Amino acid sequence: MRSESYWLDTAPAFTGAQQGAVEGKADVVIVGGGFTGLSAARSLALKGAGVVVLEAGNVIGEASGRNGGQCNTGVAQDYAALCASLGVEQAREYYKAYENAVQSVVTVVEQEGIACDLVRNGKLKLAAKAKHYESMARTCELIRRDVDADVELLTAQQVRAEVDSAAFHGGLLQRNGVQMHVGRFGVGLAEAAARKGARIYQGAAVKGWKANSGGYQVNTSKGSIQARQILLATGACQHGGPGWYRRRIVPVGSFVVTTEVLPQALIEQLFTRQRSYVTSRLIGNYFRVTPDNRLLFGGRARFAMSGNRSDAKSGKVLQAAMGQLFPQLADVRIDYCWGGLVDMTSDRLPRAGEHDGVFYSMGYSGHGVQMSVHMGQVMADVMDGRPEANPWRALKWPAVPGHFGTPWFLPLVGAYYRFQDQRL
């Protein structure tokens, strides 16, 4: 079993990285070489800007290359709850932002010819309890009424016809979703940004920046560069960073296992439509079939940070959960087990804008594959003088009480969620 991301291990090498010292000038310096930073770099370069991307490790080496590969419409919160808390108009706008984000990914793949096994087959949210199905029915009605007529409520029998497990009481199908090999997509996005003229440095950790008459002097482990603007696109990065952001982002571990290659007949028996799937529990699971017929199975597993020992413990939890849902897979070999960090906000909505003159976009809360790509493009427009392009511009972003960067409270949150899962 490999303790590394399947996506990263099976992606091609990035060939467009800059060599040598970080020096000179740029119109925009982007801190972070994940999907947000690379998408913004491509879009800004297309606008004629001189762009430099500074990545502490390798491009897409963190969340962008360590996720579950889900790329779907759907806000992180339940749409009905979002309507109740924010009103229908605002909830509709946020839902549409995620819908647009999926199309942003598809458009980049098509325009750049990225070979990443893109297929459109939607997401099916699976009701783990009968009362969850009742809640899904209310949500489905609201979504159909307000924003998306193409959602469908599936009965338990209909779900069983395409997911061969007795564990589910029905499901909510949202058709506007795609699957792809996120490692190949990310490297393809980086190569596209480099072709457009963006200078991308790997192993260039940003130590800080200082405002001056020309904008900012950005200091890195490979030298210094003068920038007119800065975009911070670091997510839940733990390599340091300004405390203002660290108090507002809670890094939560998310863990994934991937099986050995499964026989085609077994794949067709278990997952006839091969959609992206997610269960309805608070501490639930998500799963999908990879392009080479493995089952990728992930979830929170444990409320802990990612690390070698933590990932291994979480992998055992996930393997047991997979066997409970699909007894046919109880004895299959696990080839990959890894973890990553989700950049959670307190309300699970993204944050993007400007703080102390520096632009930022982060806090995707587990829905980053599509939203990060989309927000990279959006922030390129914002930095070009169009602040109205940002759908999250009106959201306030208070600090998380008691949080100063290290999420000491995660075990308590996990215990609370486990209790709620038993009760609700």
293 and 140 in contact (C-beta within 8 Å)? no
- Amino acid identity of residue 277, one-letter, is Y
Distance CA 69, CA 350 (A): 18
Distance CA 372, CA 71 (A): 11
**pLDDT tens-digit map of 344-385:** 898 999 999 999 999 999 999 988 999 999 999 999 999 999
Q: What pLDDT, on the 0 to 100 scale, is given for residue 123?
A: 95
Distance CA 258, CA 1 (A): 9
- Asked: is 6-414 a CATH 3.30.1330.20 domain? The reply is no
**pLDDT tens-digit map of 223-239:** 999 999 999 999 877 55
**pLDDT of 148 above 90:** yes
**pLDDT of 29 above 60:** yes
Mean pLDDT of 382-402: 95
177 and 73 in contact (C-beta within 8 Å)? yes
Residues 6+ apart with CB under 8 A from 26: 50, 51, 52, 199, 225, 226, 227, 228
Q: Which DSSP category does 218 fall into? A: E
Q: How confident is the model at residue 71 (pLDDT cuts 50, 70, 90)?
A: very high
**pLDDT of 301 above 70:** no
Q: What pLDDT, on the 0 to 100 scale, is given for residue 311?
A: 83
CB atoms closer than 10 angstroms to residue 385: 7
Q: What pLDDT, on the 0 to 100 scale, is given for residue 304?
A: 63
Strand partners, 354: 359
**pLDDT of 214 above 70:** yes
Distance CA 162, CA 68 (A): 20
Q: What pLDDT, on the 0 to 100 scale, is given for residue 254?
A: 86
**pLDDT of 303 above 80:** no
Phi and psi at residue 382, in whole multiples of 5°? -60, -45
Helix, strand, or coil (residue 225): strand
Q: What pLDDT, on the 0 to 100 scale, is given for residue 377?
A: 98
Q: How confident is the model at residue 307 (pLDDT cuts 50, 70, 90)?
A: confident
Q: What pLDDT, on the 0 to 100 scale, is given for residue 238?
A: 57
Residues 6+ apart with CB under 8 A from 237: 32, 56, 62
Q: What pLDDT, on the 0 to 100 scale, is given for residue 300?
A: 74
CB atoms closer than 10 angstroms to residue 382: 22
Exposed e or buried b per residue across 248-273, where buried means at least 16 C-beta atoms within 10 angstroms of its C-beta: bbbbbbbbbbbbeebeeebbeebbee
260 and 106 in contact (C-beta within 8 Å)? no
Q: How confident is the model at residue 73 (pLDDT cuts 50, 70, 90)?
A: confident
Q: What pLDDT, on the 0 to 100 scale, is given for residue 378?
A: 98
Helix, strand, or coil (residue 387): helix
Residues 6+ apart with CB under 8 A from 321: 285, 297, 299, 301
> How far out from the chain centre does Cα 18 lie?
26
Domain ranges of the chain: 6-414
230 and 28 in contact (C-beta within 8 Å)? yes
Q: How many helices (H) and strands (E) does the chain have?
A: 12, 19
SS3 for 290-340, per residue?
CCCCCEEEEECCCCCCCCHHHHHHHHHHHHHHHHHHCHHHCCCCEEEEEEE
Mean of pLDDT over the chain: 92
Strand stretches in 348-409, DSSP E: 351-355, 358-362
**pLDDT of 423 above 80:** no
Residues belonging to the chain? 424
Distance CA 140, CA 243 (A): 40
In terms of DSSP H, where are the helices of 147-213? 156-162, 182-195
Q: What value, to the nearest 5°, has the Cα angle with vertex 21 and ends 15 and 27?
A: 85
Q: How confident is the model at residue 74 (pLDDT cuts 50, 70, 90)?
A: confident
Percent of the chain with pLDDT over 90: 80
Mean pLDDT of 160-166: 96
* Of the candidates 376, 75, 61, the residue with the CA atom closest to the CA atom of residue 196: 376
Q: What pLDDT, on the 0 to 100 scale, is given for residue 239?
A: 56
Distance CA 394, CA 390 (A): 9
**pLDDT tens-digit map of 260-282:** 999 999 999 999 999 999 999 86
**pLDDT tens-digit map of 82-100:** 999 999 999 999 999 999 9
Q: How confident is the model at residue 302 (pLDDT cuts 50, 70, 90)?
A: low
Exposed e or buried b per residue across 302-340, where buried means at least 16 C-beta atoms within 10 angstroms of its C-beta: bbbbbeeebbebbbebbbebbeebbeebeebebebbbbb
Structure tokens at 312: 């291994």
